[in-house]
Amino acid sequence: MAVSPEDGEDLAAGVADAFQQAELGIFSRLAKALGTGLGLDSWATDRRDGAGTFRRLITGMLGPLFSRGRKAAKEAATEAERRGVAAADEELGALSLNLPPPSGVHAKRGTEKITDDLKTVEHAVSSQAMSIYQRVVTEVGQAVEAGTMTRLQAAAKALAKFADAGITGFVDRAGRNWELRSYVEMAVRTHVANVMVDAHVDRIESVGVRLVMVSDAPYECDKCKPWEGKVLEIGGPNGKHQVTVKQAGGGSVTVQVEGSLAEARSKGLFHPNCRHSITAYLPGVSRKPEKPDTKGVTYKDTQRLRQIERTARKWDRRRAVALTDEERAKADAKFKQWRKAARDHAAKTGLPRKTNRERHDAVR
Ligand SMILES: [Zn+2]
Protein backbone atom coordinates (compact mmCIF):
# COMPACT_ATOMS: atom_id res chain seq x y z
CA MET A 1 0.00 0.00 0.00
CA ALA A 2 1.12 3.51 -0.78
CA VAL A 3 -0.36 6.97 -0.71
CA SER A 4 -0.95 9.07 -3.78
CA PRO A 5 -2.80 12.32 -4.50
CA GLU A 6 -5.22 10.23 -6.51
CA ASP A 7 -6.30 8.52 -3.30
CA GLY A 8 -7.77 11.79 -2.14
CA GLU A 9 -10.42 11.75 -4.84
CA ASP A 10 -13.14 10.14 -2.77
CA LEU A 11 -12.34 12.43 0.15
CA ALA A 12 -12.73 15.58 -1.94
CA ALA A 13 -16.14 14.52 -3.24
CA GLY A 14 -18.02 15.40 -0.04
CA VAL A 15 -16.72 18.96 -0.08
CA ALA A 16 -17.30 19.35 -3.82
CA ASP A 17 -20.89 18.09 -3.47
CA ALA A 18 -21.71 20.88 -1.03
CA PHE A 19 -20.37 23.53 -3.40
CA GLN A 20 -22.07 22.03 -6.43
CA GLN A 21 -25.35 22.19 -4.53
CA ALA A 22 -24.66 25.79 -3.60
CA GLU A 23 -24.04 26.72 -7.23
CA LEU A 24 -27.10 24.93 -8.52
CA GLY A 25 -29.22 26.35 -5.69
CA ILE A 26 -28.18 29.87 -6.62
CA PHE A 27 -29.22 29.49 -10.24
CA SER A 28 -32.54 27.97 -9.38
CA ARG A 29 -33.25 30.79 -6.88
CA LEU A 30 -32.11 33.41 -9.37
CA ALA A 31 -34.63 32.06 -11.87
CA LYS A 32 -37.39 32.01 -9.28
CA ALA A 33 -36.71 35.54 -8.06
CA LEU A 34 -36.09 37.12 -11.47
CA GLY A 35 -38.78 35.13 -13.27
CA THR A 36 -41.47 36.68 -11.08
CA GLY A 37 -43.74 39.41 -12.48
CA LEU A 38 -42.12 39.51 -15.91
CA GLY A 39 -45.43 40.69 -17.37
CA LEU A 40 -45.44 43.82 -15.23
CA ASP A 41 -43.94 47.14 -16.27
CA SER A 42 -42.76 47.58 -12.69
CA TRP A 43 -40.62 44.39 -13.00
CA ALA A 44 -37.21 46.10 -12.92
CA THR A 45 -38.13 48.37 -10.01
CA ASP A 46 -39.71 45.48 -8.11
CA ARG A 47 -36.62 43.34 -8.61
CA ARG A 48 -34.31 46.12 -7.46
CA ASP A 49 -36.48 46.57 -4.39
CA GLY A 50 -36.35 42.81 -3.84
CA ALA A 51 -32.54 42.58 -3.91
CA GLY A 52 -32.29 42.62 -0.11
CA THR A 53 -34.82 39.80 0.21
CA PHE A 54 -32.91 37.82 -2.39
CA ARG A 55 -29.67 38.37 -0.51
CA ARG A 56 -31.21 37.01 2.71
CA LEU A 57 -32.64 34.03 0.83
CA ILE A 58 -29.24 33.20 -0.66
CA THR A 59 -27.43 33.65 2.66
CA GLY A 60 -29.92 31.36 4.36
CA MET A 61 -29.44 28.69 1.73
CA LEU A 62 -25.64 28.94 1.57
CA GLY A 63 -24.94 28.91 5.32
CA PRO A 64 -25.75 25.23 5.93
CA LEU A 65 -24.07 24.16 2.67
CA PHE A 66 -20.87 26.00 3.54
CA SER A 67 -20.87 24.42 7.01
CA ARG A 68 -21.34 21.05 5.40
CA GLY A 69 -18.40 21.73 3.08
CA ARG A 70 -16.15 22.69 6.01
CA LYS A 71 -17.21 19.67 8.01
CA ALA A 72 -16.46 17.43 5.03
CA ALA A 73 -13.07 19.14 4.68
CA LYS A 74 -12.19 18.35 8.28
CA GLU A 75 -13.29 14.76 7.86
CA ALA A 76 -11.28 14.47 4.65
CA ALA A 77 -8.10 15.78 6.30
CA THR A 78 -8.54 13.47 9.30
CA GLU A 79 -9.08 10.46 7.08
CA ALA A 80 -6.09 11.48 4.95
CA GLU A 81 -3.79 11.46 7.98
CA ARG A 82 -5.17 8.10 9.04
CA ARG A 83 -4.54 6.65 5.57
CA GLY A 84 -1.02 8.06 5.41
CA VAL A 85 -0.16 6.51 8.75
CA ALA A 86 -1.86 3.20 7.91
CA ALA A 87 0.05 2.99 4.64
CA ALA A 88 3.34 3.62 6.42
CA ASP A 89 2.58 1.01 9.10
CA GLU A 90 1.79 -1.56 6.46
CA GLU A 91 5.08 -0.92 4.66
CA LEU A 92 7.08 -0.91 7.87
CA GLY A 93 5.61 -4.16 9.14
CA ALA A 94 7.19 -5.12 12.46
CA LEU A 95 9.05 -1.79 12.58
CA SER A 96 5.75 -0.02 13.21
CA LEU A 97 4.84 -1.98 16.33
CA ASN A 98 4.64 0.25 19.42
CA LEU A 99 4.15 3.43 17.35
CA PRO A 100 1.49 5.81 18.70
CA PRO A 101 -1.81 6.46 16.86
CA PRO A 102 -1.99 9.45 14.44
CA SER A 103 -1.37 12.70 16.34
CA GLY A 104 -3.82 14.77 14.32
CA VAL A 105 -1.21 17.43 13.62
CA HIS A 106 -1.29 16.85 9.85
CA ALA A 107 -5.07 16.72 9.79
CA LYS A 108 -5.25 20.02 11.63
CA ARG A 109 -2.89 21.78 9.26
CA GLY A 110 -4.65 20.27 6.24
CA THR A 111 -8.04 21.41 7.54
CA GLU A 112 -6.73 24.96 7.95
CA LYS A 113 -5.36 25.02 4.42
CA ILE A 114 -8.54 23.66 2.87
CA THR A 115 -10.68 26.06 4.91
CA ASP A 116 -8.56 28.98 3.70
CA ASP A 117 -9.09 27.98 0.07
CA LEU A 118 -12.79 27.40 0.65
CA LYS A 119 -13.24 30.91 2.09
CA THR A 120 -12.29 32.33 -1.31
CA VAL A 121 -14.76 30.01 -3.01
CA GLU A 122 -17.51 30.83 -0.52
CA HIS A 123 -16.97 34.53 -1.12
CA ALA A 124 -17.11 34.07 -4.90
CA VAL A 125 -20.35 32.11 -4.65
CA SER A 126 -22.11 34.65 -2.40
CA SER A 127 -20.96 37.77 -4.19
CA GLN A 128 -21.60 36.43 -7.68
CA ALA A 129 -25.14 35.41 -6.76
CA MET A 130 -25.85 39.08 -6.06
CA SER A 131 -23.95 40.47 -9.05
CA ILE A 132 -25.67 38.09 -11.46
CA TYR A 133 -29.02 39.16 -10.01
CA GLN A 134 -28.22 42.83 -10.64
CA ARG A 135 -26.77 42.22 -14.08
CA VAL A 136 -29.80 40.29 -15.28
CA VAL A 137 -32.05 43.17 -14.20
CA THR A 138 -29.84 45.63 -16.10
CA GLU A 139 -29.53 43.49 -19.23
CA VAL A 140 -33.27 42.88 -19.42
CA GLY A 141 -33.89 46.62 -19.09
CA GLN A 142 -31.48 47.36 -21.95
CA ALA A 143 -32.92 44.69 -24.24
CA VAL A 144 -36.50 45.81 -23.63
CA GLU A 145 -35.55 49.43 -24.21
CA ALA A 146 -33.87 48.50 -27.48
CA GLY A 147 -37.17 46.91 -28.48
CA THR A 148 -35.55 43.68 -29.65
CA MET A 149 -37.03 41.30 -27.10
CA THR A 150 -39.84 40.80 -24.65
CA ARG A 151 -38.95 40.88 -20.97
CA LEU A 152 -39.37 37.12 -20.76
CA GLN A 153 -37.08 36.50 -23.74
CA ALA A 154 -34.45 38.87 -22.41
CA ALA A 155 -34.54 37.35 -18.90
CA ALA A 156 -34.31 33.81 -20.31
CA LYS A 157 -31.36 34.79 -22.50
CA ALA A 158 -29.47 36.50 -19.68
CA LEU A 159 -30.10 33.69 -17.20
CA ALA A 160 -28.99 31.06 -19.74
CA LYS A 161 -25.78 32.97 -20.37
CA PHE A 162 -24.90 33.16 -16.67
CA ALA A 163 -25.94 29.55 -16.06
CA ASP A 164 -23.66 28.39 -18.86
CA ALA A 165 -20.72 30.18 -17.30
CA GLY A 166 -21.57 29.06 -13.76
CA ILE A 167 -19.84 30.69 -10.81
CA THR A 168 -16.56 31.84 -12.32
CA GLY A 169 -13.23 33.34 -11.39
CA PHE A 170 -11.28 30.25 -10.35
CA VAL A 171 -7.89 30.52 -11.93
CA ASP A 172 -4.93 28.35 -11.00
CA ARG A 173 -1.28 29.39 -10.95
CA ALA A 174 -0.91 28.32 -14.57
CA GLY A 175 -3.66 30.79 -15.53
CA ARG A 176 -6.22 28.15 -16.40
CA ASN A 177 -9.88 28.73 -15.63
CA TRP A 178 -11.68 26.14 -13.57
CA GLU A 179 -15.33 25.27 -13.26
CA LEU A 180 -16.50 25.55 -9.64
CA ARG A 181 -16.82 21.86 -8.79
CA SER A 182 -13.60 20.89 -10.57
CA TYR A 183 -11.78 23.69 -8.77
CA VAL A 184 -13.01 22.63 -5.32
CA GLU A 185 -12.13 19.01 -6.08
CA MET A 186 -8.66 19.97 -7.24
CA ALA A 187 -8.00 22.23 -4.24
CA VAL A 188 -9.21 19.71 -1.64
CA ARG A 189 -7.47 16.81 -3.35
CA THR A 190 -4.19 18.69 -3.39
CA HIS A 191 -4.28 19.49 0.34
CA VAL A 192 -5.55 16.05 1.28
CA ALA A 193 -2.75 14.48 -0.73
CA ASN A 194 -0.19 16.60 1.08
CA VAL A 195 -1.62 15.48 4.42
CA MET A 196 -1.37 11.84 3.36
CA VAL A 197 2.16 12.17 2.07
CA ASP A 198 3.35 14.20 5.08
CA ALA A 199 1.78 11.82 7.60
CA HIS A 200 3.26 8.87 5.72
CA VAL A 201 6.75 10.40 5.52
CA ASP A 202 6.73 11.49 9.18
CA ARG A 203 5.76 8.00 10.24
CA ILE A 204 8.48 6.17 8.38
CA GLU A 205 11.02 8.79 9.40
CA SER A 206 10.09 8.26 13.05
CA VAL A 207 11.53 4.75 12.91
CA GLY A 208 14.67 5.92 11.13
CA VAL A 209 13.72 5.09 7.54
CA ARG A 210 15.19 7.82 5.34
CA LEU A 211 14.44 6.49 1.87
CA VAL A 212 11.30 6.28 -0.23
CA MET A 213 10.63 4.83 -3.65
CA VAL A 214 8.39 6.47 -6.29
CA SER A 215 5.75 4.29 -7.93
CA ASP A 216 5.12 3.64 -11.58
CA ALA A 217 1.81 5.41 -12.13
CA PRO A 218 -1.06 4.28 -14.31
CA TYR A 219 -1.93 6.70 -17.13
CA GLU A 220 0.29 9.51 -18.22
CA CYS A 221 1.90 11.78 -15.65
CA ASP A 222 4.74 13.46 -17.53
CA LYS A 223 5.92 15.75 -14.76
CA CYS A 224 6.77 12.75 -12.61
CA LYS A 225 8.24 10.48 -15.28
CA PRO A 226 11.87 11.28 -14.27
CA TRP A 227 11.16 10.05 -10.73
CA GLU A 228 9.38 6.80 -11.56
CA GLY A 229 10.89 3.79 -9.79
CA LYS A 230 13.59 6.02 -8.29
CA VAL A 231 14.70 6.20 -4.66
CA LEU A 232 14.58 9.57 -2.88
CA GLU A 233 16.01 10.63 0.44
CA ILE A 234 13.78 12.34 3.00
CA GLY A 235 15.51 15.54 4.03
CA GLY A 236 18.66 14.70 2.07
CA PRO A 237 20.61 16.89 -0.36
CA ASN A 238 19.34 17.54 -3.90
CA GLY A 239 20.68 15.73 -6.92
CA LYS A 240 21.96 12.22 -7.44
CA HIS A 241 23.93 10.90 -4.51
CA GLN A 242 24.59 7.78 -2.47
CA VAL A 243 23.23 6.97 0.95
CA THR A 244 24.46 4.24 3.27
CA VAL A 245 21.72 2.69 5.36
CA LYS A 246 21.50 -0.18 7.82
CA GLN A 247 19.82 -3.33 6.61
CA ALA A 248 17.13 -5.18 8.52
CA GLY A 249 19.24 -8.33 8.78
CA GLY A 250 22.34 -6.45 10.01
CA GLY A 251 25.17 -4.78 8.12
CA SER A 252 24.76 -1.76 5.88
CA VAL A 253 24.23 -1.13 2.19
CA THR A 254 24.88 1.80 -0.14
CA VAL A 255 21.87 2.96 -2.15
CA GLN A 256 21.89 5.13 -5.28
CA VAL A 257 19.48 8.01 -4.64
CA GLU A 258 17.97 10.27 -7.34
CA GLY A 259 17.61 13.32 -5.11
CA SER A 260 15.64 14.50 -2.12
CA LEU A 261 11.91 14.12 -1.63
CA ALA A 262 11.55 17.90 -1.23
CA GLU A 263 13.41 18.40 -4.51
CA ALA A 264 11.14 15.97 -6.37
CA ARG A 265 8.05 17.64 -4.89
CA SER A 266 9.29 21.10 -5.85
CA LYS A 267 9.83 19.82 -9.40
CA GLY A 268 6.26 18.58 -9.69
CA LEU A 269 5.96 15.21 -7.98
CA PHE A 270 2.51 15.12 -6.30
CA HIS A 271 1.21 17.97 -8.43
CA PRO A 272 -2.59 18.31 -8.26
CA ASN A 273 -4.27 15.11 -9.48
CA CYS A 274 -0.93 13.27 -9.58
CA ARG A 275 -1.26 9.51 -9.74
CA HIS A 276 2.13 8.67 -8.34
CA SER A 277 2.79 7.43 -4.85
CA ILE A 278 5.75 6.69 -2.62
CA THR A 279 6.52 3.78 -0.34
CA ALA A 280 9.13 3.33 2.36
CA TYR A 281 12.30 1.97 0.72
CA LEU A 282 13.87 -0.83 2.72
CA PRO A 283 17.00 -2.19 0.97
CA GLY A 284 16.77 -5.90 0.38
CA VAL A 285 13.02 -5.88 1.07
CA SER A 286 11.51 -3.30 -1.32
CA ARG A 287 11.14 -4.22 -4.97
CA LYS A 288 10.99 -2.10 -8.10
CA PRO A 289 7.37 -1.13 -8.68
CA GLU A 290 5.54 -2.91 -11.45
CA LYS A 291 3.82 -0.98 -14.20
CA PRO A 292 0.13 -1.08 -13.29
CA ASP A 293 -2.25 -2.54 -15.84
CA THR A 294 -4.46 0.27 -17.14
CA LYS A 295 -6.34 -2.07 -19.50
CA GLY A 296 -5.91 0.33 -22.40
CA VAL A 297 -7.44 3.29 -20.56
CA THR A 298 -5.53 6.49 -21.24
CA TYR A 299 -5.19 9.83 -19.50
CA LYS A 300 -7.26 11.25 -22.38
CA ASP A 301 -10.10 8.93 -21.39
CA THR A 302 -10.09 10.33 -17.86
CA GLN A 303 -10.07 13.90 -19.20
CA ARG A 304 -12.91 13.08 -21.58
CA LEU A 305 -15.03 11.79 -18.70
CA ARG A 306 -14.46 14.99 -16.72
CA GLN A 307 -15.42 17.04 -19.77
CA ILE A 308 -18.65 15.07 -20.25
CA GLU A 309 -19.46 15.51 -16.56
CA ARG A 310 -18.90 19.27 -16.78
CA THR A 311 -21.22 19.50 -19.77
CA ALA A 312 -23.90 17.55 -17.88
CA ARG A 313 -23.57 20.00 -14.99
CA LYS A 314 -23.93 22.94 -17.38
CA TRP A 315 -27.25 21.56 -18.61
CA ASP A 316 -28.32 20.95 -15.04
CA ARG A 317 -27.81 24.68 -14.35
CA ARG A 318 -29.66 25.50 -17.57
CA ARG A 319 -32.54 23.40 -16.35
CA ALA A 320 -32.48 25.28 -13.05
CA VAL A 321 -32.84 28.69 -14.77
CA ALA A 322 -35.49 27.67 -17.31
CA LEU A 323 -38.38 30.14 -17.28
CA THR A 324 -40.67 28.20 -19.62
CA ASP A 325 -41.71 24.55 -19.78
CA GLU A 326 -40.25 24.35 -23.27
CA GLU A 327 -36.82 25.55 -22.13
CA ARG A 328 -36.93 23.26 -19.12
CA ALA A 329 -37.79 20.21 -21.25
CA LYS A 330 -34.98 21.01 -23.67
CA ALA A 331 -32.41 21.42 -20.89
CA ASP A 332 -33.67 18.31 -19.14
CA ALA A 333 -33.27 16.24 -22.32
CA LYS A 334 -29.74 17.58 -22.83
CA PHE A 335 -28.84 16.92 -19.21
CA LYS A 336 -30.06 13.31 -19.45
CA GLN A 337 -28.24 12.82 -22.74
CA TRP A 338 -24.94 13.96 -21.21
CA ARG A 339 -25.48 12.00 -18.02
CA LYS A 340 -25.99 8.92 -20.15
CA ALA A 341 -22.84 9.75 -22.11
CA ALA A 342 -20.92 9.88 -18.82
CA ARG A 343 -22.33 6.52 -17.76
CA ASP A 344 -21.51 4.99 -21.14
CA HIS A 345 -17.96 6.37 -21.16
CA ALA A 346 -17.36 5.12 -17.61
CA ALA A 347 -18.75 1.68 -18.48
CA LYS A 348 -16.63 1.48 -21.64
CA THR A 349 -13.41 2.47 -19.90
CA GLY A 350 -14.08 1.08 -16.42
CA LEU A 351 -13.29 4.50 -14.94
CA PRO A 352 -14.89 5.28 -11.59
CA ARG A 353 -17.39 8.09 -11.44
CA LYS A 354 -19.55 9.72 -8.88
CA THR A 355 -23.04 10.55 -10.03
CA ASN A 356 -22.96 13.64 -7.83
CA ARG A 357 -20.53 15.14 -10.29
CA GLU A 358 -23.46 16.05 -12.52
CA ARG A 359 -26.24 16.92 -10.17
CA HIS A 360 -27.67 16.85 -6.74
CA ASP A 361 -31.31 16.17 -6.10
CA ALA A 362 -31.54 17.75 -2.68
CA VAL A 363 -31.69 21.34 -3.93
CA ARG A 364 -34.90 21.04 -5.81
ZN1 LIG B 1 2.45 12.76 -11.22
pLDDT tens per residue across span 57-67: 999 999 999 99
The residues that bridge with 177 in the sheet, in sequence order, are: 171
Mean pLDDT estimate for the chain: 90
Pair 105, 224 in one domain:
no
Is residue 76 in some structural domain? yes
Residue 334 Cα to ligand 1 middle (Å): 35
Q: What is the pLDDT of residue 292?
A: 65
Residue that is last in its domain, among 179, 208, 237? 208
d(CA 314, CA 32): 18
Please count the structural domains in the chain: 2
Residue 362 Cα to ligand 1 middle (Å): 35
The residues that bridge with 280 in the sheet, in sequence order, are: 212
- The whole-number average pLDDT for the span 11-30 is 95
Residue 228 Cα to ligand 1 middle (Å): 9
d(CA 251, CA 237): 24
Is residue 133 in some structural domain? yes
Residue 278 Cα to ligand 1 middle (Å): 11
Pair 159, 241 in one domain:
no
Residue 217 Cα to ligand 1 middle (Å): 7
| Secondary-structure breakdown of the chain: helix, strand, coil percentages, each rounded to the nearest 5 | 65, 10, 30
Residue 131 Cα to ligand 1 middle (Å): 38
Residue that is last in its domain, among 292, 326, 353? 292
pTM summary value: 0.87
Pair 161, 248 in one domain:
no
Residue 102 Cα to ligand 1 middle (Å): 26
Is residue 116 in some structural domain? yes
Pair 136, 225 in one domain:
no
Q: Which of 51-55, 101-105, 230-234, 283-287 has the weakest average pLDDT?
A: 283-287
Is residue 335 in some structural domain? no
Pair 203, 214 in one domain:
no
Residue 220 Cα to ligand 1 middle (Å): 8
- The whole-number average pLDDT for the span 246-274 is 87
pLDDT band at 27 (very low <50, low <70, confident <90, very high): very high
Residue 273 Cα to ligand 1 middle (Å): 7
Is residue 127 in some structural domain? yes
Contact present, 193 and 4 (Cβ < 8 Å): yes
Is residue 251 in some structural domain? yes
Is residue 93 in some structural domain? yes
pLDDT band at 143 (very low <50, low <70, confident <90, very high): very high
State pLDDT tens for residues 156-186. 999 999 999 999 989 877 888 899 999 999 8
Residue 277 Cα to ligand 1 middle (Å): 8
Pair 134, 254 in one domain:
no
Residue 18 Cα to ligand 1 middle (Å): 27
Residue 289 Cα to ligand 1 middle (Å): 15
Pair 29, 139 in one domain:
yes
Pair 234, 176 in one domain:
no
Pair 138, 190 in one domain:
yes
Q: What is the pLDDT of residue 220?
A: 58
Has residue 363 got a pLDDT over 60? no
Q: What is the pLDDT of residue 356?
A: 52
Closest CA to 268 of 312, 221, 224, 206: 224
Residue 40 Cα to ligand 1 middle (Å): 57
Residue 62 Cα to ligand 1 middle (Å): 35
148, 295, 322, 342 from 23: Cα distances, Å: 30, 36, 15, 21
- The whole-number average pLDDT for the span 341-345 is 95
120, 256, 292 from 261: Cα distances, Å: 30, 14, 22
Residue that is last in its domain, among 265, 292, 319? 292
Pair 272, 198 in one domain:
no
Pair 137, 265 in one domain:
no
Residue 29 Cα to ligand 1 middle (Å): 40
Pair 163, 219 in one domain:
no
Quote the domain boundaries for residue 77. 5-208
Is residue 346 in some structural domain? no
Has residue 279 got a pLDDT over 50? yes
Closest CA to 133 of 30, 15, 263, 44: 30
Contact present, 340 and 185 (Cβ < 8 Å): no
